[in-house]
Amino acid sequence: MRGFFDARSVAVVGVSDDPANMARSIVTNLQEFCFDGIIYQVGQRGGHAFGRRIFKSVADLPDQVDLAVILVPARHVPGVLEECGQKGIRRAIVETAGFSEFGPEGKAIEDQVVAAARKHGIRFLGPNGIGVLNLKNGLVVPFPRLKDVFARGRVSILSQSGGVGLSYLNVLASENLGLAKFASLGNKLDVNECDLLEVLVDDPDTDIIVLYLEGISDGRRLMDLARRTAKPILMHKSNTGQLAREIAASHTASLSGDDAVVSAALAQVGVARFGDATTLVNYLKMLPLPRLEGDRLAIVSRSGGHAVIAADACEAAGFRLARFPEAFLREIERHFRASVIKLTNPLDLGDLFDFDVYLRIVEETLRLEDVDGVVFLHTYIAALEGERSRELFRRIEELGFKHGKPVAICVATDFEEMAILRRTLPHPVYTEPDDAIHSLRLVRDFRHHARPAPVLPEGRLDQERVRAVLARCRAEGRDPGLGEALEVLRAAGLAVAPSSGVASAEEAVSAAAALGGPVALKLDVAEASHKTDVGGVRLGCQGADAVREAFGALAAAAGRLGARGPVRVEVQRMAEGGREIILGARRDPSFGPVVLVGLGGVFVEVLRDVVMRVVPFEATEADEMIRALQAFPVLQGLRGQAPRDLAALREGLLCVARLVEAFPEIAELDVNPLMLFAEGQGALAVDARILLARAVAPA
Amino acid sequence: MRGFFDARSVAVVGVSDDPANMARSIVTNLQEFCFDGIIYQVGQRGGHAFGRRIFKSVADLPDQVDLAVILVPARHVPGVLEECGQKGIRRAIVETAGFSEFGPEGKAIEDQVVAAARKHGIRFLGPNGIGVLNLKNGLVVPFPRLKDVFARGRVSILSQSGGVGLSYLNVLASENLGLAKFASLGNKLDVNECDLLEVLVDDPDTDIIVLYLEGISDGRRLMDLARRTAKPILMHKSNTGQLAREIAASHTASLSGDDAVVSAALAQVGVARFGDATTLVNYLKMLPLPRLEGDRLAIVSRSGGHAVIAADACEAAGFRLARFPEAFLREIERHFRASVIKLTNPLDLGDLFDFDVYLRIVEETLRLEDVDGVVFLHTYIAALEGERSRELFRRIEELGFKHGKPVAICVATDFEEMAILRRTLPHPVYTEPDDAIHSLRLVRDFRHHARPAPVLPEGRLDQERVRAVLARCRAEGRDPGLGEALEVLRAAGLAVAPSSGVASAEEAVSAAAALGGPVALKLDVAEASHKTDVGGVRLGCQGADAVREAFGALAAAAGRLGARGPVRVEVQRMAEGGREIILGARRDPSFGPVVLVGLGGVFVEVLRDVVMRVVPFEATEADEMIRALQAFPVLQGLRGQAPRDLAALREGLLCVARLVEAFPEIAELDVNPLMLFAEGQGALAVDARILLARAVAPA
């Protein structure tokens, strides 16, 4: 895969002597960036361009070539790849658009492209991308013209979209952020983001990795790669909604999973998710600064008003303002020309105009043990104080490094001055106090480190018994019924309310007697998948008559539904007094099994308050899921209510996780509700639903 | 008040021949902005500056002067004002800092300042502000040096903080947004934001009003002024948190109310609240564009990736993507050089490079009846396509005006180019699709128009009876007890669960028998303000024995609390089966009476889901409050539950509002809970608490 970045000879295929020819710009870019290798031009009409010959076909090339960059009409791409294969070229970048993103004809050509590549063992990037940039060797092959305005640095970018990739390149250049490598993934017909992410993870020239993706090809591999590396990974995953999904499907042929799964998965492996270029820059500029090790900030401001705004932002972001010691304040006071500003944190420099004094104050502030970081707010008119301010900022940042604490600088000035600051200062400069403080929070909360793959803690899972139930259902081409679903849960070690399946009123009466106490009767036929809505549930039946009557009512309901086969009913001992919890699991096409938890009733139905994780996860992570619920205080016990049995809930989550990890044929599983009792009293599943994948090979 | 902007002669007090003298910059600014009037300089040491004499005192001035601008040490300000008064000057701007924002000594000087001003009928702005700008007559008196880089226009700004005001001025200049007037309010010791807002509301040169405030001096007058005008008012109200409040108190001596009240009040009168300069600019640049009349957008993009991001943002902001008619798509297709992009909305211009074709496409899009607005996304490298792109943007905006629909332009380019675009284009240009679409939403949702003052619909409020209860409590120096609070609610027309107060077990038994059915007994002594927590509530007591036993238990609880006086207990008929609602009211120091509604239990306690309005409001607004609750779906009936009686809830809100409007001595009122029954079955208040203001004159 490194070959996409390290090629020492490149054939640009699709060049003609027409000045409007797009492949010519690829050659121009290679020249602009002083490619440290040999460039060949190929185009069926031959001729010459840029003082070089245009070979009529790849076959005509005089030498061996490392990489072909192809920009010919889509229908010609399979043929060009065939020629490349015959010539022994094993790496190609296809920049041509018009494949599956355009329609069924394009899809047919794609199949031919893949066939040609497979036949010759060619790995290719694209189609419908703009290729790569490697600033180290000048391998820069996008077809849009680029100027070499880039600082050399240690940030590398993978972008599914060429346009978004270009705009990120623009931003890096404008912000003086150093670039190492770039690749545009396009339709990801062969090489995907994981293939190149692996290159960047191992790349000695890359320290920070940025991804823009519209779809995630292999979520689990992505998670593994992210866990393997200590390099910060920042990801913009778009295509989050229904509208975008329709476009993206046509745009780069992405299949998008559920966005909440993406967020959960990225959080699990410590990938920072961002949604716009501003946030990206905030990360990139803050990450090289000294680490913010706590939440105590000092605000030093030239304007009291900005200090107020910054203090609001501090509080909203969960920071505290460090308390300044008296001795420090007296020391500061000595520097003031007149004592007209009350000394406190935020420190308002209002009537003080000597920048050297500002510096001394910032340094004194950084020295304070109670201060973890500083926000410096500065208002100026560039024409009057521009140069002095820029020098001030440089020296303030040096002080930050000297004392090992970050300083976020926020200025109010004109945009031309901001452009200069951004392009010339290596450190971040913000225009909004909110933004400066939000950035500090981003880097405070973002812990990037290599981490071992989690392992689900072991537990009782009777695989034989689960397999038997699922095999029977699969054989009969149906999903498990209620009784079967409850049996699977029991086999998975979950506590389930005692119940038994019956087929007649008299069986129901006996079952109820055996269970003891009041019982619930629940219709268990395929046609009643939403039992409650069709009158398929009777609660609190006590005594033979009540049970018999309830069975009759359920049988009648089954009749109304046109249920085929015998009427089956689950008789279950009532489990009352618990808080209703929903446990769920499903299989994401990209990330595999995912488990979720939420509180029943309004919390899920109105507030969509659920927390999700990709399986596997550790027991501590299950606890984190529970605590992350908005409704968590309800489980801790509101208004003197007893706290709920959180250990039982954790165990419930782990049981479900073990089950869906071991049985990929389970496409969806809901335990709804799990009744969660007071601390020490456990939990009981009282209803469940399992859907099987339509066509999954046996595990 | 217009005198602060229209003065034709100005005395700058505090000028010396020292080059570091700050008042000199005031004179410099007047000269820079070509003040169309006469400038006098006053300074106790005399001498000369800028080729003019410095008079030693105001008394020495040879002519009558309209306005004094004062920047002398705080302790000298009272004397200067005294001189001004004697000289007949009736308007002053005090820029000096170091008053109450600094400490008690400053507060003492403030009192002298106010006394001197009152004595002579002087109205003054400040202290601790930077004065005014009026670009029409060049009256520009801040002490920080300013360059005249401002476009003349129709936006006026009032800012409590000078620093934030300056940064907004910077932003306006950078964004080519035309300024009319500016004033900095400082400590608002005399003139406040309402005084100057009234000037701007009536100012023929002002079309849009921007306010930055840390505290609101007179919320009700502000609301009245906002209702009076059709001019859009945009407000940044900072000082929202606890941290900021502490600073602001020292910074500009503001007293800040509850931030949620501010938000509610501004929303009620159609003032747009913003929190940063970016959002301000978005408003200011979008407001002059044609109005967005619906929610159907078209996205036209040079990059598929940006189209995906924009579509995500569309959906998140509640917009729809217009469906393009087939005929339109065929028309567009004819313009394409190659058919490699699927035509849909968003329209991806991917392989099309002719800007004239872009224009034609945008125009065709604007013509479509189903399109209410357009988002145009453009990626370019300034060095290569800068000029052509700028021309494209200008012509696109013309098309928007021609067709009466807004076009939000979003570009990916470098910052220097962005600075040029912002300073030269009259129309907005965004760098993030999210931001462009968010701005469209801002102006879609922001309806600015003059509106009549709301009137609470009349209802039954027995003022005599309320007055009697409150008078008794006030006379005894205590808050109303439970029985009294319930009586007040009954007098206010609210349905209250039948109850009566008793003082013995036997009275309780008789009362329970009279009420019929199970009853609740609630301890009604001042010491048991949190009844439930101290065992002061017994629910569902049925029969004489149970009532007697409950009374005994409550009496014992009262004993444990050390209650003085006789034990009083409220015996109340049980009201079960309702959904618990909380109605509340309190008196905001700036906005007056405020009413709130929320659902009891987790909704208020965990989720803080409450909606608030300043009284008075119309019945339709009460309905809006209810519908604005996150938990509103619960009231509509979840999972087949009956919908609740929303008319009764509205009436409850109106009763509470009438009560607190009529009785300013009610500082706080909680109805917790109001039991809300199914539709048509009304509501019953079952518990209530009223706190009286400590020192309010009788209504």
* ipTM confidence: 0.86
pLDDT exceeds cutoff 50 at A251: no
The neighbour count for residue B51, using CB atoms within 10 Å, is: 5
| E strand intervals along B208-325 | 208-213, 233-237, 272-274, 296-301, 320-321
pLDDT tens digits, residue range A448-464?
789 899 999 999 999 99
B383 in A contact zone (CB under 8 Å): yes
Average per-residue pLDDT in chain B? 90
Pick from B677, B497, B494, B498: nearest CA to B579: B677
B543 in A contact zone (CB under 8 Å): no
Is-contact B206 B180, C-beta < 8 A? yes
How much is the pLDDT for B411?
A: 92
Beta carbons of A606 and B383 less than 8 Å apart:
no
Average per-residue pLDDT in chain A? 90
Exposed e or buried b for every residue in B404-441, given b needs 16+ CB within 10 A? ebbbbbbbbbbbbbbbbbbbebebbbbbbbbbbbbbbb
Q: How far is residue B469's CA from residue A677's CA, in Å, rounded to a whole number?
A: 46
Q: Phi, psi at residue A364, to the nearest 5°?
A: -60, -40
Q: How far is residue B643's CA from residue B56's CA, in Å, rounded to a whole number?
A: 78
Q: How far is A316 from chain B (nearest CA, A)?
A: 8
Edge to edge, the sheet with strand A233-237 lists A139-140, A132-134, A179-184, A152-159, A208-213, A233-237, A272-273
Residue B256's pLDDT band (cuts 50, 70, 90):
very low
pLDDT exceeds cutoff 50 at A696: no
User: Which of A358-372, B236-250, B599-613 bottoms out in mean pLDDT, i.e. has the lowest?
Assistant: B236-250
pLDDT exceeds cutoff 50 at A640: yes
Chain B residue numbers touching A169 (CB-CB < 8 A): none
For residue A404, CA distances in Å to A318, A395, A399, A449, B416 come to: 22, 14, 8, 20, 32
CA-nearest residue to B347 within chain A is A247
Cite the DSSP H helix spans in A289-404.
304-316, 326-335, 355-367, 382-403
Is-contact A538 A571, C-beta < 8 A? no
Residue B102 parent element (H or E): none
pLDDT exceeds cutoff 50 at B459: yes
Q: What is the pTM of this model?
A: 0.88
Q: How far is residue B408's CA from residue B238's CA, in Å, rounded to a whole number?
A: 28
Q: How far is residue B256's CA from residue B262's CA, in Å, rounded to a whole number?
A: 10
User: Using CB atoms and an 8 Å cut-off, which of residues 414-443 of chain A contact chain B?
Assistant: 414-416, 418-419, 422-423, 431-432, 434-435
Which string of DSSP letters, residue by residue, matches A90-110?
-EEEE----STTT-HHHHHHH
User: Which of A47-51, B108-112, B424-428 bottoms out in mean pLDDT, i.e. has the lowest?
Assistant: B424-428
How much is the pLDDT for A402?
A: 96
pLDDT tens digits, residue range A165-175?
999 998 898 88
How much is the pLDDT for A335?
A: 66
Give the number of A-B residue pairs with CB atoms closer than 8 Å.
294
Pick from A350, A336, A335, A239: nearest CA to A302: A350
User: Using CB atoms and an 8 Å cut-off, which of residues 45-84 of chain A contact chain B?
Assistant: 73-74
How much is the pLDDT for B239?
A: 87
Q: How far is residue A501's CA from residue A571's CA, in Å, rounded to a whole number?
A: 6
CA-nearest residue to B337 within chain A is A20
A285 in B contact zone (CB under 8 Å): no
- Percentages (nearest 5) of helix, strand, coil residues in chain A: 40, 20, 40
pLDDT tens digits, residue range B282-303?
899 899 899 899 999 999 998 8
Q: How far is residue A221's CA from residue A590's CA, in Å, rounded to a whole number?
A: 9
Q: Is the peptide bond before A127 cis (omega within 30 degrees of 0)?
A: yes
How much is the pLDDT for B254?
A: 35
User: Using CB atoms and an 8 Å cut-off, which of residues 619-638 of chain B contact chain A?
Assistant: 630-631, 633-634, 638
Better-predicted residue by pLDDT, A431 or B24: B24
Beta carbons of B311 and A243 less than 8 Å apart:
yes
Most confident of A238-247, A426-435, A687-696, B192-201: B192-201
Shortest CB distance from A340 goes to which of B102, B246, B278?
Answer: B102
Angle at B245 (CA atoms; ends B239, B249), nearest 5 degrees: 110
Q: How far is residue A82's CA from residue A654's CA, in Å, rounded to a whole number?
A: 51
User: Using CB atoms and an 8 Å cut-off, which of residues 127-146 of chain B contact chain A?
Assistant: 144-146
Residue of A140, A251, A423 to mutate, testing the B interface (most B Cβ within 10 Å of its Cβ): A251
pLDDT tens digits, residue range B549-571?
999 999 999 988 888 778 899 99
Q: Which amino acid is at A169?
A: L
pLDDT tens digits, residue range B326-375?
888 887 777 665 454 567 888 888 767 788 888 988 999 999 999 999 99
pLDDT tens digits, residue range B659-670?
999 999 999 999
Tokens of B192: 């406040």
How much is the pLDDT for A250?
A: 41
Beta carbons of B166 and A303 less than 8 Å apart:
yes
How much is the pLDDT for A611?
A: 93
Q: How far is residue B78's CA from residue B95's CA, in Å, rounded to a whole number?
A: 13
Contacts of A482-487 with C-beta under 8 Å, sequence gap 24+, read A482/A522, A482/A524, A482/A531, A482/A570, A482/A687, A482/A688, A482/A689, A483/A524, A483/A568, A483/A570, A484/A690, A485/A669, A485/A688, A485/A689, A485/A690, A486/A570, A486/A685, A486/A688
Q: What is the Cα A434 distance to its own chain's centre?
A: 24
Q: How far is residue B575's CA from residue A508's CA, in Å, rounded to a whole number?
A: 38
Q: Is the peptide bond before A288 cis (omega within 30 degrees of 0)?
A: no
Beta carbons of B159 and A306 less than 8 Å apart:
no
Query: In whole angstroms, how large is the CA radius of gyration of chain B?
Result: 32
For residue B454, CA distances in Å to A106, B184, B273, B494, B657 come to: 62, 31, 21, 22, 13
Beta carbons of B308 and A639 less than 8 Å apart:
no
DSSP A378: E
How much is the pLDDT for B14?
A: 97
B496 in A contact zone (CB under 8 Å): no
For residue B667, CA distances in Å to B471, B591, B647, B688, B691 come to: 14, 13, 26, 14, 6
pLDDT tens digits, residue range A472-487?
999 999 999 999 999 9
pLDDT exceeds cutoff 80 at A407: yes
Longest CA–CA separation in chain B, Å: 99
Q: How far is B72 from chain A (nearest CA, A)?
A: 12
pLDDT exceeds cutoff 60 at B634: yes
User: Using CB atoms and an 8 Å cut-off, which of residues 145-174 of chain A contact chain B?
Assistant: 145-147, 149, 159-167, 170-171, 173-174
Tokens of A503: 């087929």
pLDDT exceeds cutoff 80 at B532: no
pLDDT exceeds cutoff 80 at B248: no
Residue A351's pLDDT band (cuts 50, 70, 90):
low
Which string of DSSP letters, residue by residue, matches A616-653?
P--HHHHHHHHHTSTTHHHHH-STTPPPB-HHHHHHHH
Q: What would the mean pLDDT of A206-230 be, rounded to a whole number?
A: 96
How much is the pLDDT for A638?
A: 76
Is-contact A614 A268, C-beta < 8 A? yes
Beta carbons of A602 and B379 less than 8 Å apart:
no
Q: Is the peptide bond before B633 cis (omega within 30 degrees of 0)?
A: no
Residue A606's pLDDT band (cuts 50, 70, 90):
confident
